[in-house]
Amino acid sequence: MDKGFREFIAKGNLLQLAVAFVIGVAFAGMVGSFVNDLIMPIIGKLIGNVDFSNLYVVLSGETYQSAAAAREAGAAAIYYGTFVNTVITFLIVALVMYGIVRAFARVQKPAEAAPATTKECPFCRTAIPIDARRCPNCKSTLEGA
């Protein structure tokens, strides 16, 4: 194996990206199950015993017992119930990610500002060194010099 390739693979950023990807896939599965198995049945019950995953419209006008039967038959259909599930899953993931980023921003220390090396000339408003006694631009004598 080439030395440059080994260095590239061994870099921390690539490893962190791989770990983040694996965790993201697991998180997506968990959120998908949360939405499909917990949230959508509750919403369906509140609306009137509706199973969102079984909502579809067949474009040819044929009838099928379920969305799965229509898919198996290869019918041209719009499966809008599955789309509703996907939108709700996305919204939950976006909300959780927003919370994580916001919490991380609170915990992260703000960067310390570097000490100022310049000040503004009170006469010409240009940046000059802190310890200057005379402005190099307008030749004014500064106070406290």
Do residues 55 and 67 make contact, with C-beta atoms less than 8 angstroms apart? yes
Q: pLDDT band at 141, cuts 50/70/90?
A: confident
Distance of alpha carbon 72 from the chain centroid: 35
Region 140-145 average pLDDT: 74
- What's the pLDDT score for residue 94? 85
My answer on whether 30 and 61 are in the same domain is yes
The verdict on 92 and 31 lying in the same domain is yes
Model confidence pLDDT, tens digit, residues 11-59: 667 777 888 889 888 988 888 888 888 888 888 888 888 778 788 888 8
The C-alpha atoms of residue 29 and residue 126 are separated, in whole angstroms, by 58
- Confidence band of 1 (pLDDT split at 50, 70, 90): low
41 and 87 in a common domain: yes
What is the tens place of the pLDDT at every residue in 79-108? Answer: 888 888 888 888 888 888 888 889 888 888
Together in a domain, 80 and 126: no
For residues 90 and 126, membership in a common domain is answered with no
Domain shared by 61 and 96, yes or no: yes
Q: What is the CATH number of the domain that holds 93?
A: 1.10.1200.120
Same domain, 10 and 49: yes
**Largest CA-CA distance found in the chain, in angstroms, rounded:** 92
If asked whether residues 120 and 62 sit together in one domain, one would say no
100 and 136 housed in the same domain: no
| The total number of structural domains that make up the chain | 2
- Domain range enclosing 129: 116-145
**pTM for the whole structure:** 0.55
Same domain, residue pair 70 and 135: no
Domain shared by 128 and 145, yes or no: yes
Mark whether 74 and 106 lie in a shared domain: yes
